[in-house]
Every structure is written in structure tokens, then in C-alpha cells.
Amino acid sequence: MRRWYSAWRRSRLGTRLALGLGALALVVFAVVGTVTVGIMHGYLGRRLDEQLTKSQVSQVPQLRDVHNAPESAYSWYSAVYDVRDGVATPRQGSRLPADSKPLTRVVEETGAGELLRTVSLRGQGDYRVRTCQVDPGVVLVSAAPQDDLDRTVRQLVMVEVVAFLLALAVLVALGRLVLHRGLRPLSTMAGTAHDIASHDLTANADIPVRATGDGGGAEVQELRTAFNKMLAHIDSSLTARTEANERLRRFVADASHELRTPLTSIRGYSELFRYAAANEPAEREAHLAKIREETARMSVLVDDLLLLARLDARDAEAPVRPERVELADLVNAAADAFRAGRPDHPLTVDFGQSSVTLDADPVRLRQVLDNLLANTAVHTPSGTPVTLAVAVDRDEVVIQVIDAGPGIAPEDREKIFDRFYRVDTSRTRQAGGTGLGLSVVQSLVAAHGGTVGVTSEPGRTAFTVRLPRAS
């Protein structure tokens, strides 16, 4: 049994469904055949009882008048018994079987009415017996064989068995063909899955195949749609992972490059400092100042990298601690610091309202303003006017840093918030910083629940920060 069950589980779904349908049809055929045979057997039995009744009813008047032997219809047995003191004795001329005791017992059990019973005669099979009273003490008995009835029922059983077996074979064969055709879309999807498995997704994350075709009904169409949605989700997830890995690779490479530059400078100035300490004492302070300058730059870079890492780590404590902040104070402080550090860039502050409050981290929001202003000063010529504007748009606070510089090329605007991306590709210190300032701005604004964007054309570049107002 275990081997048969294992073979059943290993068989194809279409075969199992067809065999299951055949088993169900076999049960239905058995029930229908049993009911049909029972109905036919009952019908033929009632017909035989009616024939016995008609035969006796037609003979009773004649037997009362003439007292002759009864007539035997067909191959029936027919006899007249005289019953005295419960003992039945057949009259002369009665047609009785060799073993008449079963008929005699039925006659002796007959009262004033009539009696129908099935008895078994030795060597002749079953007979249907009917008795009725002709006169007091005189009973007519007729016995009809049931061989014809049983033969008819057996033939009906044979016909039904053959017909049902043929119907079952046709049903299983046609059901298997129909199921095979109906399950063909599933086979197609299985082939699609095997096709996907044959592709090397490590080299190329794009999944080029999808489940196609139609037919199979609503359920198969739902499965096909869900299968394609799953493939699209896997495709997008693999693409996102590949892009994330590529960004991580570039990030590590850029971080290594950016850290190598100040480290190389520090190493060089250290050698010069050691040489100057022995030979040129007057130059020691100049070399030491260069070492401090490069160390400060490297510290800023490391601090920015640590800040971005903390902002990216979802399960770590976010470096943003919101509190109720008056925006005017932060804007004026950032403007004063910019004017002091960049006197060659005239700054105008346009504050639309007297009081605007935010739920924000004042230190990080000040860092956003300082980075945007510093980015403007670094990438515009000396004397370029800068505007720091604040406005309220429904439930948002809009902060804009606008300059009248040469603008940003469209291809650069798409990547300007990427980490270590700089508009100038030379990576010289005179052309700009490390390329992390705007990335820090974007991450900090996102941590506050806001957005940042840039629009640019020759003569006007605007960085726009949108933050939710305090409720």
C-alpha cells in the first residue's frame, strides 16, 4: 500500500484528477445501477404478483361451480387443497411439484383471505406462491417460477456493468485529455520557471522572461498574473540590490580616494616637518599648520560619513532629535555666519512671515542651511548674489537657497545628491569639497520628513527644501 501511495503522489496532477474523477464516477454509477436494478426487480415482482392474482381470480368462480382441477397457466403449478382441522390435502388432478411440502405449509397458513409468499422448491429454485380461499375449507394455490425474473435482472446487471465500464473508460480518457489541455498553462509557467533558473542572475539581475499565453480559466489567469507580478518584484528587487551593491562599491572606492588624499598630504608634511625640525626650524610652524588643516578636512569627511551611515541604519538610533524650533533664529544665524565667512557673496534674507515654527533638530537643520549656502559659494564666482528665502505653503515650510550663478547642467542635476558626486570631475580641492555636502542635506531633510530638490538655468539656481510645519 505504501508503494502504491508513493506512486500516486509522484503521478502528474492531470492523471490524479482524471483518476479521481473516474473513482467518483464509479461510485455514482454503482449507486445508479443499484437503484435501477432494485426498481426493475420490484417492478417485475409486482407484475408477477398481478399475473398470479388475475389467474386465480378468473378460476375461482369456475372452481366453485364445477369443482374441477384448476388450470395451470404457463409453467406454473396450480392445485386445490381441502383443509380440515389445519391439515391441507390436495385434490386429484392438481399439478404439484415433486416436493410439494413448501406449498402445503403455505396453504395451511392461509386463513379466510389470501397470502403471497416466495418459497424455494428443491431442485427448482424460487417460486412466487399465491393462495386464496375458494370456499370454506377449500384453498386455491398457484406457484410461478422466478427464473425469468431473476434472469432478466441478471441481464440488466450485465448490461449496466458493461455500459458503465465503457462510460468510465471514455470518461477517464476524455477527462485526461481535457485536463491536460486545461493544465497546459501551468506547464508553460513551469517552463518559464526552468528558463529563469537557467539564467545567470549573478552577472545580470534582469529577468528577461514572463509567463505568457491565455486560456485555462479565471483561476489560471489569476495564477499567471500573480506569477508575473512575483517575477516583476524579484526583478526590481534584484535590480535594486545590484544598484545598491554598485553604489556601495563606488562609495567605498570614493571614500578610500577621499581619505587617501589628506593622509598622503599629512604623511608628506610630516616628513617635511621632521626635515624642517632638523634643518629649517623656521618652517616647522608652516608644515604643522598644513598638517592641522588636512587633519581638519579629514575629520569633516569622517564625520559626514558617520552621519550618513547613522541615517542609513534603520535599526539604529536616528541622529535627529526634534524639538519646537523658531525658524527665524536659525535662518538669521546661518546668514550671519555665511556673511562673515563669505563676504565676497552678498546674501539677502527674504523671510515671508514673522514667525514660523517647526518640529526639527536645530543642530541638524542649521547643518542643512550651512551646507546649502556653502555649496552655493563654492560653485559660483566671487560676487555672485545669494538669496535665502523662507515661505509657508499650506502645511509646509519652503526654504530656498537661490544664486545667480552659471547654473547646473541637466546631466549633473540628476546626480547632484549622490554621495561623492561633484560637478567638477577633477577632484581638486580648489574646485570644491568632498561631494558629501548635498548628500548629507538630502538625508537630513528626509529624516525630518521633508524633501529637497533643485532647479537650474543659466543665471538662476534654486535649492528648495520642504519641511512639514509644526502641528
CA separation for the pair 289, 291 (Å, rounded): 5
The per-residue pLDDT for 427 is: 39
* Total length of the chain: 471
Res 426 pLDDT > 50? no
Pairing of strands 386-393, 396-403: antiparallel
Looking from the CA of 431 toward its CB, the CA atoms found within 13 Å total 9
Selected residue with higher pLDDT from 108 and 254: 108
Question: Distance between the two ends of the chain, CA-based, in angstroms?
Answer: 72
What mean pLDDT value characterizes the chain? 81
- Average pLDDT rounded to a whole number, residues 393-406: 91
The per-residue pLDDT for 429 is: 42
Q: Is 79 helix (H, G, I), strand (E, B) or coil?
A: strand
Return the exposure string of 434-451: e unless at least 16 CB atoms fall within 10 Å of the residue's CB, then b.
Answer: bbbbbbbbbbbbebbebe
pLDDT-derived band at 299, boundaries 50, 70, 90: confident
The per-residue pLDDT for 428 is: 40
Task: Write out pLDDT tens, residues 181-215.
Answer: 777 777 777 777 777 766 666 666 666 666 666 66
Q: Are 88 and 71 in contact (CB under 8 A)?
A: no
Q: Which of 65-69, 107-111, 339-343 is predicted least confidently?
A: 65-69
Q: How far is CA 188 from CA 178, 193, 213, 228, in A?
A: 16, 9, 8, 13
Largest pairwise CA distance in the chain:
169
The per-residue pLDDT for 225 is: 77
Question: Above pLDDT 90, what percent of the chain?
Answer: 22
Q: Are 366 and 334 in contact (CB under 8 A)?
A: yes
Pairing of strands 460-468, 396-403: antiparallel
The per-residue pLDDT for 259 is: 66
Return the exposure string of 291-327: e unless at least 16 CB atoms fall within 10 Å of the residue's CB, then b.
Answer: beebeebbeebeebbebbeebeeeeeeebbebeebeb
Task: Write out pLDDT tens, residues 256-296.
Answer: 656 666 677 777 767 776 766 656 666 767 767 777 777 77
Q: Are 133 and 114 in contact (CB under 8 A)?
A: yes
Task: Write out pLDDT tens, residues 403-425.
Answer: 999 989 888 888 888 877 766 54
Task: Write out pLDDT tens, residues 84-128.
Answer: 888 888 887 788 888 888 888 888 888 777 888 889 888 888 899
Selected residue with higher pLDDT from 300 and 374: 374
Alpha helix stretches (DSSP H) within 183-313: 184-197, 217-279, 284-312
Query: How much of the chain is helix, strand and coil, in % rounded to 5?
Result: 55, 20, 25
- Average pLDDT rounded to a whole number, residues 366-387: 91
The per-residue pLDDT for 421 is: 73
CA separation for the pair 250, 391 (Å, rounded): 37
Res 431 pLDDT > 50? no
85: exposed, middle or buried (Cβ count in 10 Å: 0-12, 13-18, 19+): exposed
The per-residue pLDDT for 65 is: 74
Reading the block at residue 371, the C-alpha cell is: 551646507
